Structures are given as C-alpha cells and as structure tokens.
Amino acid sequence: MKLLILRPQPGGCETAERARAMGLDPVVAPLFATIEIPGPPVAAERYDAILLTSANGARYAPPGAAGLPCFAVGESTAAAARAAGFAEVRPGPGDGAAAAAMMAAAGVKRALHLCGRDHLAAEAPGVEIERRIVYAAEPVPHARFEGPAVAMIHSARAGARFAQLAGDKAAIAVAAISPAAAAAAGEGWAVKAVAPAPRDQALLELAAQLCNHGFDVVKDGGDGL
C-alpha cells in the first residue's frame, strides 16, 4: 500500500528515505512549500537560550542565534540545529512545552523561539519567551489524492488541507502526529489514528503498521495503537 508523505521539503524526502529503509512505498507529495522570512541578526546578549520546536527553525535561524545554547524538540530538530552551527544543543522529548520546562529547569530566564508563522506558543513559569517568525509554509497546487493509501499528517493545518484534497476517504487511512492534527482532518476515513508521541519517527512507525497490516489494526476515531 502506498504511503503519502505530505510534509514540506526537505523533511519530506528525509521521512521517505527512512520509510524505504522500512520496506515501505512512499510517495512524497508536500502540501506546503517552506519559505524563509528574513530578519535582522539576533542580539545574543539579550537572551540566555534559543528554543527550536522544528527543524526549519534551525535551518532558517538568523545570524547570531547559533552562538546561544539551544533547546530543541526531538532528535531530528537537534540534528538540524547542529547542522546549522549550534554548538550547544540540548534535545528533549515531547513538545514545545516540555522544552520550555527544560529551559526553566536549566535556569534560563529569557529565550528566543525561532518558529514558523503557524506555531504553538510554548510557555514555562519563570521564562520569558520572545518569538520570531523565521519561515512560513505556503500551499502548493495539488490534484486529488486517491486510495488505497496511508497518509501521514504532521500538523492540524495539513490535516484540514488534506481533507479538502482527498477523494474517496473510505479508501484512505490517516496517521496523525497529534490529536489536534487528527481532529483537523475530520471524519469519514477508513482509519484515523494518532501517533504515541508527537515526533516524525513515531508517526512513521504508526503509518508502517497500517501499510503492512491493513486498516483493521487500528480502530477508527484516533485511538492509536
């Protein structure tokens, strides 16, 4: 069964490479294209740390950011931060809230969150977090998607757009990275399930189970596995 990878590049091809290594048949069809939103250099003296909740935040980090300690959500974001020149990178599990809690525990008082135009605000008691939008995801034209297929949904915005572009929903399984992404995709799918953790690898493993074992392995309604 084909696997639809809908995330923007270069993340789409990175996921596809891992999917092929698992014996899957991925089709990379990004719903959005990522564009940089340039800004001035970071005044490093104003902050104690950088918060990264996506790999794109690292890829489009403005000059001056890489000199600060970086708290990253997940190992893939941490790897992108290292590739972008961040020397001190602290990866954490979970989401932006967990990373913000890590900053608070480390004594960070003021941080800069490099994020996309569509993002979730991360907060932690005792930490002042300023946000700078460094990229945006813009829709790209698409034909309708048809099944049988398993679709990986990486965000609520992607879930809503994929629902508009899907043909026969009863022939498509949706694997969502979060409950919010699953809810945005709506109903009517052959299966709708949520990854056990909000990370690309966990989502890919869920999608692989659907591809390899059929839609019956998950109950409809986003119950997960």
Average pLDDT over residues 201-213: 94
The CATH topology of domain 2-31+144-217 is Rossmann fold (3.40.50)
Residues 6+ apart with CB under 8 A from 151: 4, 6, 145, 162, 166, 172, 173, 174, 175
Token couple for 155: 């965000």
Cβ atoms within 10 Å of 216's Cβ, excluding its own: 9
Q: DSSP labels for 201-214?
A: HHHHHHHHHHHHH-
Sorted by where each begins, the domain ranges of the chain are 2-31+144-217, 35-137
pLDDT digits (tens, 9 = 90+) for 150-179: 999 999 999 999 999 999 999 999 999 999
Sheet of strand 128-139, all strands in order from the earlier edge strand to the far edge: 32-36, 128-139, 110-116, 49-52, 70-73, 89-92
pLDDT digits (tens, 9 = 90+) for 88-126: 999 987 788 889 999 999 999 999 999 999 887 888 899
| Whole-structure pTM value | 0.81
The CATH topology of domain 35-137 is Rossmann fold (3.40.50)
Q: Which residues are registered as beta bridge partners of 92? A: 73
Which of the 8 DSSP states describes residue 20?
Answer: H
Do 2-31+144-217 and 35-137 show the same overall fold?
Answer: yes
Give the pLDDT confidence score for residue 94 in this predicted structure: 72
Question: Residue 222's pLDDT band (boundaries 50, 70, 90)?
Answer: very low
Give the pLDDT confidence score for residue 199 in this predicted structure: 84
